[in-house]
Amino acid sequence: MSKERSSIFLIAVFALIMIAPASSYGADKTKEETELNELIGIVNSKQATPQKIKIFKERLKSYFFEVVKFDVIERLLKELPPGKALTVIVFSSLSKKSYREIVGLMNEGKSWTEVAQKTGVKLKDVVEKIRHYRLMSGCA
């Protein structure tokens, strides 16, 4: 009986070792998505007036001038709140996918985690890029 208990114990420990990393991986994704949604909310709340949106647009153009055409920034800010527009631009610049593809995924109801998976981008990289933009631009 002792051998059976030892075997069961070892199997249980092995199973826990295999399951624990998978569950923490999912938790990190949720944390990153939550953080991204918080950043989007902060950006949206700080761009509350037409004057602030104009300044935000100009700073987006300055920051992303090498990777995003100015007309894309103009279109995105007409279609989306500032925080989501910034997020789409970051996804597009990191993944080299068109902004239309990113917006299409959003319109399908995909979460940011799912958008990251579909575009091959790490969500933590998106969060870091948005943080960096906020720090450098001074307006988000």
pTM comes to 0.77
Give dist(CA 83, CA 94) in Å, integer.
17
Number of domains in the chain: 1
Does 17 reside within a domain?
no
Residue at 119 is within a domain: yes
pLDDT tops 80 at residue 16: no
67 confidence band (pLDDT: 50, 70, 90): confident
Tens digit of each residue's pLDDT (9 = 90 or more) over 78-125: 999 999 999 999 999 999 999 999 999 999 999 999 999 999 999 999
Residue 138 CB burial class (10 angstroms; 0-12, 13-18, ≥19): exposed
Domain region containing 93? 32-137
Element spanning 30, H or E = helix 2-46
Indicate whether 120 belongs to any domain.
Answer: yes
Element (H, E) at 97: none
- How sure is the predictor about 29, in pLDDT bands with cuts at 50, 70 and 90? low
Residue 75 — pLDDT band, cuts 50, 70, 90?
A: very high
Whose tokens are 């420990």? That residue is 13
Whether the predicted pLDDT of 15 surpasses 50: no
